[in-house]
Each structure stands twice: as structure tokens, then as C-alpha cells.
Structure 1
């Protein structure tokens, strides 16, 4: 009886230890050994190709369609100016009038010389014809006939000289009214009435510029030009048909110009200082809103990508070397890494040149919780639920 009482505390302690061990086996550490953790959940977007019209935006400057620097072609005194500075003029409009009196006198003198020669010419022709018949019958000597023939030829030559002088004087006289050679807008005048001007002087009297249509000259780098040609040749881009050469003009204040321009040609000479060629665009300018020398931007069409692939910019990660990549969920439900080749940013998305295909599931949310090779649970990305709430 005494021994049983002594052994009772030992039995109670053993029972307590067994209960503690049993409770420890049923705790959290024990459940990890018997149950496998659930795979992490990530939000994915399935890649779908889109049709994209690719454009490039280049800076440029406007230039007048035609420019005529007005210079006198004869010497003289300016009698009057017949235009208003800054106004529109038509081809043939009178701009300046040079004093025509000296040139009128020269023309009248040359005209009189022609008249005198023409008056003497019939008599010498008749004399030559008579002497020609008389010399055959030996009524006059051969020398007399030769003198008559020489006098006729001399007068004919003199008549030709006089007619040339008259024509030259008439041309000079016609240069005394200085007229607009082209239609356009004329700038400020460099001379006033009473000024003495010289023929073909280096300083122009005024300048007429045709502004409708107007040119937009845009430099394009040869690197970009070669890249575009290569993509068209490889079939990555298709020409956009008749609208390929259509150009949208953005004005200095950022507003689109209402008239659409057209690409006229690419220059064939590369500027060695900039490594670029000039693209010339013709833009209608009926209201004269575009002036020569203005800075604008031209949006040109490169072509059409029928299978464009886009990804959100915030989902593209980069390696330590700066190489872009994304994590995707493969067909087995595991995370895989895809290295990307990016073309350009359009809005808040990257245009992907290579690395992703249609049907790939890219991870949008949950990238921080996974790594390549890990099995995940992919759920469709809900853009509406992830958008930040607006505050008033």
C-alpha cells in the first residue's frame, strides 16, 4: 500500500509528459509536415496581338514653297513703290517703277536706225539687180557690180545690228517696271522712292514668298531610315496603302494643324554633321497660319504591324545589365522568365518586338512573391479592382 502511494506521482508526471507531446504533434509545426502549402496566387493577362499603325514624330521647320528676291535688272532711279508691305501680290503685279526715260530714248534711237536702214535697203537691192544684168552684157564693169553687192550686204548687216540694238533697248525698257515673278506675300521694302538702284545688285529690294502650299523640312537620322527599310523588307511592317505618305502636323503650341500634309520626297544627300537626311512635306496653307521658319512636329506613318504585342510598362523588370524581361505562367502552371526586345513606348505600354507570343500569360500582380520554376495559381487580372480609388 505504501509502495503504491509512492509510485502515484511518477505516473501522474508521465501522463502529463505524454499529453504535452501529443499536443505538440497537433500544433502548427506538426501540420506542415503532414499538409503541403497552397501555391501562391498571381494575376495574369493573356497576350493578344493587335493591329497597330506605327508612326514616328520628328521635329521640323517650315519653309516657303517658292521664294523670289526682287532685284533690278537695269540701273535707274526708283520713281514709285506700288505695293503695301506685308500684303499678298499676284504674279505680274507692279512692285517698283524705275525711271524709263533714258531707256525710252535708247529704244527710240535704235528704232530710228532700223527705219533708216530699211529705207535705204530697197534702193540698194534694185541697184544690185540692175548691175547684175548689165554685167552679163558687159555694159558695166565687174568692179561696179561688186561694189553694189558689197554696199547691199553692208546695209543688210547694219540693219541686223540696228534691229538687235532696238530689241536690246526694248528689253531694258521693259525692265523699268519691276513686277512680281510669283504669287505670294511680300515683305518689307528695302528702298523708297528716289533711291538709285543698280542692275543685279546684291541687296534685294524686297522678297516675295509663296506660302500656300508651304514646305515642312524634317530631318530623319540614317539609322532610323535603315531600320525602317529593314523592317519593311523583313515583313515586320506593311505599307499603309494610299495613306502611307499622309502626314499630321503639330504646331508649336501643341495643337494639331487642321490640314494634312503629304510626304513629297526624301533627300539623297546625308548631312555629315548630323547624320540625317531631309524629308520634305507639302502642307496646304490656305489661311497663311504657317509662316516660314516656324518650328513644328511631323507625325509620319511607318507602316502597319498586324501582330503587335503590348505589355504594361510597370510589369517589365530589368536585369543588372539593364536587359528587360517578364515573368509568365507556362502551360504547366510554373513561373518562367522571358527576355524581351522592346521597340518603343506607346502610352503606358511597351511595344514588344520579340520574347512574347500570342497566348502567353504574363504575370501582372504577385511578381514579388514568386520566382522562376515555382508553381503558382494563375487568376485573370482585374484592372478595375486594381485601379486606385479617386478622391474628391
Structure 2
């Protein structure tokens, strides 16, 4: 027999999900050319700024040299134009030269200055393209296998990446929850944001083991999928040992609401009547067994969470149900405290013994 008392419980639900990298960057070339070197270990870790591939730079070096020459030429033209402007100003101050000649000299100087700026901009553009022959990591994380090889011709912004970098130091787990459950949760929590009340969520891996790191709800899609009627929720988990990998199937146990004044009843104490309704055998005030129809909310471990059908202090028959028939008078016995069992001990007495 077990005496039950009402209590407030945090109800949970188990949702299927997939692991997603917290950051992902596809490595693509920004200039065209032949790949000359691969400078990373496949499957290893790279840091942002590391050089991953090099592209043959010869043509880009030539373009930089040509742009540098253009800058030098534009600088020489500017120097000449500035000297001519100074000379015309001196002549104009002595009334030897006309104002038109001075205006022409000033215009030539401005044109030469603009030409120098254009040449410098072209030099900057060619230098950028030369720098891009060294393909660098834009994200720190784990890099996968190389999808190209030395000698391959690559083009700027091609569709297929050269490699993929994923940050899995922290991972996301995307799960789906039905819109009906979302509505129930919001009603039970007075419209609060989901992330504010869900302090921790736990994760079960594909092999059935529980992940040793707790997670937290970080985002919830503000819309419902029209085809499936579900909302996508995103959890964040630390992944220091790199145990969680993107694409891995997992299950998340997350709190849904707080159930007030509910009872925990052992599952072995609940049976079903002919209509399939859950029923428990309760020992009344005069030790007479009666049946109580229950309203079960959900399971929790080895118990049922019951919201209706019981009262505080009710005594539930948990053992000896075959002896406690409906209407029978029994001698209830509370279970003894657990103690180490000696070899050859007799089995425990039933929780309810029928009286003749």
C-alpha cells in the first residue's frame, strides 16, 4: 500500500531532433586559377585566418606589377601638372600669362590627381585579387575532407565548395513541437517566453545514454509549418568532447508546464477497466477496497501523473492486487523501508492482505 499526497510537478515531454553545427562556412575560391597546395589536415581543426589552399598567383602578380606601374605614371603626370600650375601662377602674378592659361594648368593638375587616385584604386583591386590566391578560413572549427585536389581548376564563387568548416564547440539541436502543445504551454505559463522558464533541458543520445551536458532553449520559430503543423525549437548544448556531431539523431526532454496538486501513482498499481479507462484500487476509511477511475496526465519514470480521481491521504494498493478484490476488507500494510536483503530472506509481505 502507498499513501499519496498532492504535489506540484514540472511536466516534461520528449521531442525528436537533429544536431546542427552552431557555425558553418563553405570554403569557396574568390578568384580563378589552378590549386597549387592544400595546407590543412582533413578532419582537423583550423582557426580563422589560416591558409587552406593556394592558387597559382603568377597572373595576379603580373596584374599588380602593371597596376604599380600605372600608379607611378600617374604620379609623374601629377608632379608635372603641379609644376606647370606653380609656373603659371608666377607668370600670372607678374601679368605675363593670361588667366585662361592658369585655369588650364589647374584643370590639368586636377585631372592628373584624379588619374592617380584611379590608378591607386586599380592597384588596390589587383592586390586584393592577389591576396585571394591564398584561400583562408573564415571560421574557427572542424574542417571536413577536401573536395578538390592539387592541379584542379577553380573559378570565382563556384557552386561546389572546396571544403566545409563547422564549429561544434557548441552545437544546436533543432526539435519540432506541435502547435497544440505550444498553445497548452503558453496558456499554462501566462504567455511567457519559452526560453525564460526553461532553465535546462536534457539530451538522450541514439544509443539510449543521457548526455552529460545540460542545454537551454535559445530560439523558437514564430510561425507554424503549414504542412506539418509544428514549430521548430532550437536548443544549445556545450560540446567540449566533440561527442555531438551535426546530423546526429537525438531526443530532448524539455519541461512543458507545472502541474499543480497532482499525484504520483506507481504504474503497477493502475489497471484498465473494460472501457480502457485507468483505474486504481484504493483502501477506504474502513479498510474496504474500492475502485477509483483516474485521469492520467502522462508518465514520469515508473509512475503515472494523476490529476483527478484521488484525494490527499488516499491509500493505493500497490502489491497483492489479486488478493484485494472490489468490496473486500483488507489489512493494509505500508511498505517497509528499503534495507540490504540477506541471503535466503523471505519475500516481503503484500501491501494489502484480504481479511476473511
Q: TM-score range by the shorter chain?
A: 0.7 to 0.9
Deviation at 1:232, TM superposition (A): 2.7
TM-score (norm 1): 0.76
Alignment map for 1:9-24 (pairs within 5 Å): none
Structure 1: tracts of 5 or more residues without a match: 1-43, 371-375, 388-392
**Inter-CA distance 256–334: structure 2 relative to 1 (3 Å threshold):** closer
Q: How many residues align?
A: 335
Alignment of 1:192-211 (within 5 A): 192-211=149-168
Task: Give me the whole-angstrom Cα distance separating, in 1, the residues matched to 2:199 and 2:9.
Answer: 17
Partner of 1:385: 349
Distance in structure 2 (CA, Å) of the matches to 1:194 and 1:241: 54
Aligned to 1:40: none
Specify which of 263, 266, 278 is matched with residue 217 of structure 2. 263
Task: Name structure 2 gaps, 5 residues minimum.
Answer: 336-347, 352-356
Alpha-carbon shift at residue 127 of structure 1 (Å) = 2.2
Alignment of 1:177-326 (within 5 A): 177-233=134-190, 244-305=198-259, 307-316=261-270, 318=272, 321-326=275-280
Specify the SS of the correspondent of 1:164.
helix
Please tell me the root mean square deviation across aligned C-alpha atoms, in Å.
3.0
Spell out the pairing of 1:64-83 with structure 2 (5 A cutoff). 64-83=21-40
Say whether the 8 Å CA contact 2:324–2:330 is kept in structure 1: no
**2:97 paired with 1:143:** no
**1:272: how far off?**
2.2
Distance 2:105 2:58 in 1: 40
Alpha-carbon deviation of 1:137?
Answer: 5.7
Q: C-alpha offsets along residues 206-242 of structure 1, whole Å, 9 cap, x if unaligned?
A: 11111111111111222122222222339xxxx9998
Compare CA radii of gyration and give the structure with the larger one. 1
Higher helix share: 1
1:50–1:381 Cα change, 3 Å = farther
Greater Cα shift, 51-60 or 147-156: 51-60
Partner of 1:52: 9
For residues 88 and 154 of structure 2, the distance between their equivalents in structure 1, rounded to whole angstroms, comes to 55
1:66 Cα offset (Å):
0.9
| TM-score (normalised: structure 2) | 0.83
Shift of 1:143: 2.8
Shift of 1:279: 1.8
**SS in structure 2 of the partner of residue 86 of structure 1:** coil
Q: Deviations over 1:252-299 (max 9, x none)?
A: 111122222222222223222322222212212122121111111112
Task: Give matches, 1:338-349, under 5 Å.
Answer: 338-349=292-303
Q: What are the superposed Cα offsets for residues 317-363 of structure 1, whole Å, 9 maximum, x if unpaired?
A: 55655444556566688777654321012234321122323133456
Match of 1:5 in 2: none
Shift of 1:71: 0.5
Provide the residue aligned with 2:20 in structure 1: 63
| In 2, Cα distance between equivalents of 1:74 and 1:153 | 34
CA distance in 2 between counterparts of 1:323 and 1:291 reads 43
Match of 2:116 in 1: 159
Cα offset for 1:186? 1.2
Question: Structure 2: how far apart are the matches of 1:312 and 1:258?
Answer: 28
Aligned residues of 1:245 and 1:300 also touching (Cα < 8 A): no
Please identify, of 145-154 and 51-60, the stretch whose mean Cα deviation from structure 2 is larger: 51-60
